[in-house]
Amino acid sequence: MQLTELRGLVATDQIREGLLKTSAEGWTVALEDMEGHQYPLTDRGGHAKYYHSLDSATNVLRELGIARIQVVEDF
């Protein structure tokens, strides 16, 4: 989902937490709803957006107003 779509989910209080996950390309950002469904942040083409620092990825969730953030590191 694009950032504007994720903002809509946040505005309707459907989000439980934000997720930051590692990947070979960098950090990904996702939101998880109350039922456990995850919605990754994507670009216009539907591809995952990657951030090269944890701080940058965290700032995306903070700007969305997400208070609960979980960092998932898979090595």
State residue 74's pLDDT score.
Answer: 79
Q: pTM here?
A: 0.91
Please give the share of the chain, as a percent, with pLDDT higher than 90: 96
DSSP state letter for 36 = S
Distance CA 41, CA 15 (A): 14
C-alpha–C-alpha distance, residues 68 and 31, integer Å? 10
Residues (pLDDT < 50) of the chain are none
| CATH-assigned architecture of domain 3-72 | 2-Layer Sandwich (3.30)
Q: Which residues pair with 6 in a beta bridge?
A: none
